Structure 1
C-alpha cells in the first residue's frame, strides 16, 4: 500500500470553475489548522503609534532595541507589534496601564488566525483578496492534494501545518520546474486539513503572469517522488542500509564466482552460440558499437545474452534481492504493484549491455590469432561480462549510499580490504566499492 497519496487537477478557466471558492474551502473548512495572521506590512495603527510614544517616555532605553530600529525605518503594523512585545518581555510594565491593557488584546496572543492558508512567505494573506485573484486569473490554475496515512503523519511529525509549510517551501524550486513555471513567476497557496484517517494539504499553483504552466503524467510522478522522498527520507535511509548489507552478501558471492570463472567456468551452449552471432553481427556493422546506436536485430541478440546470464543461479539470486529492495522503495510512492522487470529490460542495468558489446569486440580484436580454443574465448567473454555485471550491481548500491553521505564502519572496511587482498585486488584508500580487476591469464 502506498504511503503517500498525490492527486492533481487543473482549471483552464478559473472563473468558470469558481476556483476562488476552492481557496476559501481550503482556508476555512472545519478540519483546517488556522494559522497566525502573518506579517502585516500595512502602516501601524494610530493606537500603536500613541502607545509607542508613551513607551518611549517610560522606557527611553528601548530606543536602542533592534525592534525599535526596525520600526523607525519601516513603521508597519508588524514592526510596531514586535517592538511593543519586546518592551513587554524585557521590562516591568505594570505601571503603564495602557500597555497592560494592550497585553490582553495584542495581536497573536492566541496565535490563531481567521484562516489556514499559507504560502512561500509569512506575509499576511487576505483570503478574500487571494480568492478573487485566483478566480480572475487569466491562466491555468493547478490543484494538488498530498495526503498521508494518520499513523505516518503522527510518526513523522506531519500532523501540523508548520511541517507541511516547511515541506513545500524547501521544495519550491522543484515545484516550479514540475509546472514549467519560472521560479520568480511562481505563486502557490496551501492549507492543511487534519482529517482523522488521512491528514493532507490542498496545494494551489499558478504563474503570476498567466502565460506559463503545464504538467504531464511524468511531472506529476516527479512531484509524488519529490514529496515522498522528502517526507520518508529516514525510511529511505533504512532501505539504503539494507542495500549495503546486501552488497556485503554480493561480495561474499564474488569470491566463489571469480574462482569459478578462473577455473574455466562452464558456459552454456546457448551463450556460446549467441556470442558467435553477436561477433558476426558486429563485424558487419559499420556504425558505433554502442547499444543505443545498434540496429534492432543486434540489440535483440545482446538482450538474449543478458537473459541467459540472468538464468545463472547466483545472478538470479542477486537480482531477486535487488528487486525486493526496489519494491520496498517503490511502495513509498505507488499503490499498484507491478511485476519485476526482467534483467534484460531493466534500465538500471543497461550499462551491462555495452559491457557485453565491448567484450565481444575486444575478443575479436585481441584473441583472433591467439591460438585459444573457441571455448576459451567464450570463457574470456563470460569472465569480463560477468564481472561487469557484478560491478554494475555494486555501483547501483554505491550511488544510493553515497547520496546520503553514509560513513562506512572501520571494522567493516577492514574486512572488505582483507577480502580484496586475499583475491589480489587493488586496495582502496577511500570509501569505494568498485573492484579493480586483475589481468586475466588463460
Structure 2
C-alpha cells in the first residue's frame, strides 16, 4: 500500500505556525537532514512559504545520499547522478525558533519521493521504522546522545588548555557557557550536565532522554545551537572524531533504556545489576552487532584514530557495570528511571538517525532470538586480555556490516547500498594519507 504524508493536515499546521513565527519575529525556517557521511545538510524557506513546504516539500537532490565528507560523490549501480529529485518535508512538531540565530527557526525534515512515498534512503525514516518495530513488540526505548565538541579560537587552536574537568575552563569561558545554557533552555531543551572534557578545548553537554527519533533530532539541534553560540563569541567548533593527532576525541555516546508498561527494564529485575531478562537480551543483541554497528556509529576513517584502548573510547566488545573502557557500559543510576546502557564506541561523525536506528535493530534481534548476555568485564579489557577488540579500521567495520543480516535487513537495500558506497569511497579517499593528514582533512568538516 502506498504510504503518503497528510498534506492538508500539515499545511494547516504550518499556517498556524506561520502566525506564531511572525509574532516571534521569525523571517525564515531552516530544514535539516543528515547524510550518510554524517554531515548536516540544509535548505530554508521564507516564513510565508512554510505552509507550501509542509504540503509539497522542498526539492532535495538525491545524490547527497552518496556525498562524502569532502563533498565529492560516491557512485553505485543504481545512482542517478544529477538526475531526479526528492521532497524535503519539515516535521513541524519539532519546529523551534533558534535563540542564537535571531529571525530563524529550525525543523528536522523527512525525505519523500515526488509521489509523496517515503524515500527508502531517508535516514530519519529508518530510525522511525526501527522505533516502531520495537514498539510493535510491546516495548519502548528512551535515548539520549552526549554531545562533545572542541572550541577553538580564530587561528584554529584550542581556545583553552585548562585541566580536564577543570574550573579554569569555566572561568575562561563562563560567559560563553552561560549563554549556551540560556539558549538551550530557551529552545525547550532540558540540560542535565555541562562540563569540560579531557582534550584541550573540549566540552560536553547532555540533555534529558526522550524517544529515539526525538533524541536524534535533539542532538542535531544541540549541535547547531553550540555552533551558533560559539560564532557569536568569535569561536570555532569541531565535532570531528579527533581534533588533534594523538589526543582523545569527540565521542557521540548513545544512552538508552528499554521500557515496558511504564517500567524501566534496566532496574528492579532479577538479572545482573537489577536488569530484567528482556533488557539483557536487548543488550546482548547490541553487543553481538557492535562490530557491524561501527559502520554506522564510527563512520569515518578518522573514527579509528579515536577508537583506541585505554582512552575511554570503548574499544573492546564487552560490557560492564560503570566500566568506561567497555564498549557497552551499564549505568544503574540513583533512581529507577535513570538506569541505562551507554554505547561508548560511537563518535560525533555519526549520523545520529543511523546510529540510533542501527542499535534498535540490533537490540530487537537480540530480543527476538532470546540471545543471552555474556559475562561482564569487571576491569580494563586491555589489561585483562579476555575481551575481543572491536574493528580497528573502517574497512574492518564495513566487512562486519556486510555480514550483519539484522542491520542490512533493517536498513533496506537502497540505504544499505548507499552507506556501503560512502564508507568504501571515504576509505579510498584517505588511502595513503598519514594520521595527521586525515585529522587535518576532517577537523572542520564536522
Q: What TM-score do the two structures reach when normalised by structure 1?
A: 0.25
Of structures 1 and 2, the larger Rg is shown by 1
Q: What TM-score do the two structures reach when normalised by structure 2?
A: 0.25
The structure in which a higher percent of residues are helix is 1
The structure in which a higher percent of residues are strand is 2
